[in-house]
Amino acid sequence: MHPLPLIAPNPPRLSEHADALRRLEASGVFSNNGPEVQAFESEVTDALFDGMGATLAVANATLGLMIALREAVGPATPPPGTLALMPALTFAATAQAAIWAGLTPLICDIDPDDWSASAAAEDALLSRYGDRIGAIVPYATFGNAIDLDRYIALNQRRGVGVVVDAASSLGTRDDAGVGFGAASPFATVYSMHATKTFAVAEGGLIHCGNPDRIARLRAMASFGFEQCRIASLPGLNAKLPEVLALMARLKLAEIGTVCERRAALESAYRGALDGFQLQRVAGRSRASQFMPVVLPPHLALHRDAIAAMLADRQIGCGRYFSPHLGQQPLFQQTALIEPTPVADRIADAMLSLPLTDTMSVDDVARVTDALNHACRAVDARSVPVAPVATSRAIANVVVIGGGPAGSAILLAAGTKGLLPSLASGLVMVERDEAIGGGQLGRYAITSDTTADTFLSAVRGSTHPQIVALADHPAARAVAQHSGALGVPLTEVGPLLRETGRRLTTLIRDHGGTVLTGHEALGATRRADGLWSVRLRRLSDGAEVEQIARNLVIAAGGHQPLDRLSTQVVAGGRLIDMAGGRLLQSDEVLSVGGFEKVADLLAGRRAPRVAVIGGSTSAAATLFSLLKGRPAIPFGAGALTLLHREPLRPFFPSVAAAAADGFSDFGPDDICPVSGFVYRLAGFRLEARELMLRMLGVDGRQPDPRVTLHRIRGDDDADAREIMERADLVIAALGYRPVGLPLSDAAGNAIALAAHGGAPMVDRHCRVMGDDGEPVPGLYGIGLAAGFVPWGHLGGEKSFRGQANGLWLWQNDVGLMIVQQLLGEAQQVAA
């Protein structure tokens, strides 16, 4: 029985082409774009790309990607933090090339069918990061002919550079029967490595429909020389030697036959592989390098055993690309990584089967028979996997929600060395595919938290993995805003997600469980005092019961629509006064929200907007409308803020307030711990600057486009008229906690104080029942929880409301919960 290796390199044999070698030697040229390179470039353009555009041969595809990416982002050195958007399921060279080109990889999820970059993920990240994305690097997965028209449209509409990584696609033909990448306006980079279908020894190829771009790339591949030995472009030495160009010419002569033979083998595989997920193929034909298959979920855990059984039968296999980019240590340190649930699933279950030039259809049958036999053998001896794997029969605590508030508990524990003790009895449940970020990164506004606050939890940790985050690109992007009025939340999200990824590892290393992609359906307090929490996996609906001694609700807040139908403002029902012109501030502040407002106001010569509320979100809404681009033509008095309570700016001290000429405060408005004026009630950062202007503090001039109107009691006709005349009414009325159905042992609903509009938690973060007593073993933290600082936490006596601050959550408030969860004995042991 002959071996069937996964890959059997089959480059041209130079020993059989002595005349060609003598021709090369007689030319006296061995590099520097000699006659063999020039002939190959011309021949391959005609043979594979129907004579369209131009082609550049390079020493290898990685160098080709490096110069193509550098050219795509423009002649100037890219600013630090410029991103290269790419899919997770690709070879390391894609991300390495971006790093060498001065870019930070931004890794996104993939399409579940064709395994290329997810269009939805790309669109979301282009909207979130905007001009920070200097280039998109789609990967033509396993030689597939991906949709280049989509990237042409993105290139034209957004002005973002595009470089296609088509390492395995030299020889692939698109739906029109033309070589993949022909005539595209951007660079498409192919490999001619010995392991590829277009096997040479080493080498790469760049094709583009724009000959001028190829001319620039040719200069960059030769030290940036546009003129004789004068560098005018960034460059390096990426020239293809003549002997490799000769081999490439010989391979070009046979590539059509090679691809046809491999296509027949792939067809045989597809006819014999039942029960496996196969890649959805695009294009008329492709230069298949191997046959990728995805094992069924119940067999994916046994992939190594299946591969070993194939090896016993002298059949090679691979695991391209597992681990994918987002799972590799270098890129976890240097890239921004989005949640990649599809790539995780595909990579963990991927198996690559042999497909070589010397194989026959009978060999394919041998491989598929062996694979099916191995799967049956593993299946027969496998123990069924539980629908949801949790850490223990009884957890000490289940945390519902792994966003900024839920993760803050972990960070607070980490600052005191308590995280291992907390993690050992922890089950964290999060709907998203990663913990840490929650919904924070989807807001297109600047935070009311400073850059140093976001970084303090990283720097103050007792865990080296967390401290090391300070040097991560996500942390450096946030640090660039030190001293500024907040940080764009779209840049905060990656830092929180990377923090969450490292916290996940720490939790699991210490015996805890993180269930991403899960939701809590409800919880019952049993007669024995334990909580029974019903969890559901979102991917397939599988449910499980988790028993816990304690439960922490950190599910965040929302702006419920039903509130609008009953909300009364200035003596009138809001829905009656605003009707179809009513939005909630959350819609406006999210990514794409400004564009939605601009669209709704389009065509109005003098648009008018009323914003209702005196909170930070109300001020952020105003600020977003004022600074959005392209600007909405707001005239004088076009924006009106309707508020009930006085608008108070924060000051770091009484002296600072006096220096600014602000005196509208008394002793009860000063925090006794910090000395801050309006520590809790005061607007901060951008919102503060806007309010200082509007209040005319220290001679500041109000923005003429904004008017303040303090609502006078329950019958303010002027306020009602403002809302009725407005083209849009935006309700910034705060948030309510996301609820979790709770019941007692008898099945009766547990009524909470929050159901009646009271704060959800007391001063110890214990969730309160409607009887005014804390519900045993139940805690809450986060947006809309209603916590009010007290004692050593500080705060002014006059404050009425709730305090929501990441610093508080990650420090005193989070630690307060941790201490109650662990108890005194466990804290001493820790």
Tell me what the mean pLDDT of segment 708-716 comes to. 91
End-to-end CA distance of the chain: give it in Å, rounded: 60
**What does the pLDDT look like over 140-176, one tens digit per residue?**
999 999 999 999 999 999 999 999 999 999 999 999 9
Of the two residues 316 and 482, the one the predictor is more confident about is 316
Q: Is the pLDDT of residue 388 over 60?
A: no
**What does the pLDDT look like over 83-132, one tens digit per residue?**
999 999 999 999 999 999 999 999 999 999 999 999 999 999 999 899 99
Minimal CA–CA distance to 40: which of 198, 228, 163?
198
**801 pLDDT tier (thresholds 50, 70, 90):** confident
Tell me what the mean pLDDT of segment 783-790 comes to. 89
- For the entire predicted model, the pTM comes to 0.82
Q: Is the pLDDT of residue 353 over 60?
A: yes
Q: Are 533 and 545 in contact (CB under 8 A)?
A: yes
By DSSP bridging, strand 204-208 and strand 728-731 are: unpaired
**829 pLDDT tier (thresholds 50, 70, 90):** very low
pLDDT of the residue at 451: 87
Minimal CA–CA distance to 556: which of 420, 683, 694, 439?
439
pLDDT of the residue at 123: 95
Q: Are 585 and 615 in contact (CB under 8 A)?
A: no
Exposure of 642 by Cβ count < 10 A (0-12 exposed, 13-18 middle, 19+ buried)? buried
Q: Is the pLDDT of residue 609 over 50?
A: yes
Minimal CA–CA distance to 616: which of 480, 783, 794, 483?
783
CATH among 3.30.420.40, 3.40.50.1100, 3.40.50.300, 3.40.640.10 for 29-265+274-385: 3.40.640.10
pLDDT of the residue at 487: 87
Share of the chain above pLDDT 90, in %: 80
pLDDT of the residue at 825: 43
pLDDT of the residue at 382: 60
Average pLDDT over all residues of the chain:
92
Q: Where in the sequence of the chain do the CATH 3.40.640.10 domains occur?
A: 29-265+274-385
**What does the pLDDT look like over 612-664, one tens digit per residue?**
999 888 999 998 999 988 999 999 999 999 999 999 999 999 999 999 999 99
Task: Please tell me the distance from the alpha carbon of residue 152 to that of residue 17, in angstroms, as a whole number.
Answer: 42
Q: How many CB atoms lie within 10 A of CB 249?
A: 20
595: CB partners within 8 A, 6+ apart: none
**828 pLDDT tier (thresholds 50, 70, 90):** very low
Q: Is the pLDDT of residue 391 over 70?
A: no
CATH among 1.10.260, 1.10.3470, 1.10.1760, 3.50.50 for 562-647+683-734: 3.50.50
pLDDT of the residue at 655: 96
Task: Please tell me the distance from the alpha carbon of residue 358 to that of residue 6, in angstroms, as a whole number.
Answer: 12
Q: Is the pLDDT of residue 356 over 80?
A: yes
Minimal CA–CA distance to 188: which of 93, 305, 64, 23?
64
Q: Are 44 and 55 in contact (CB under 8 A)?
A: yes
Cβ density class 336-349: b for 16+ within 10 Å, e for less: bbbbbbbbbbbbbb
Token duo for residue 220: 């960059």
Task: Please tell me the distance from the alpha carbon of residue 575 to that of residue 581, in angstroms, as a whole number.
Answer: 9
pLDDT of the residue at 563: 79
Task: Please tell me the distance from the alpha carbon of residue 538 to that of residue 429, in angstroms, as a whole number.
Answer: 12
Q: Is the pLDDT of residue 328 over 70?
A: yes
Q: Is the pLDDT of residue 446 over 60?
A: yes
pLDDT of the residue at 804: 77
pLDDT of the residue at 826: 57
Task: Please tell me the distance from the alpha carbon of residue 462 to that of residue 24, in angstroms, as a whole number.
Answer: 64
Q: Where in the sequence of the chain do the CATH 3.50.50.60 domains occur?
A: 394-555+748-829
CATH among 3.90.1010.10, 1.10.3720.10, 3.60.10.10, 3.50.50.60 for 394-555+748-829: 3.50.50.60
Q: Is the pLDDT of residue 565 over 60?
A: yes
**387 pLDDT tier (thresholds 50, 70, 90):** very low
pLDDT of the residue at 110: 98
Listed as own residue / partner, the contacts of 592-601 with beta carbons closer than 8 Å and 24 or more positions apart are: 592/127, 592/444, 593/444, 593/624, 594/444, 594/624, 594/625, 594/628, 597/625, 597/628, 597/632, 597/728, 598/628, 598/630, 598/632, 600/727, 600/728, 601/632, 601/727, 601/728
pLDDT of the residue at 450: 86
Q: Within a 13 Å sphere around the CA of 348, how many CA atoms are in the beta-carbon half?
A: 15
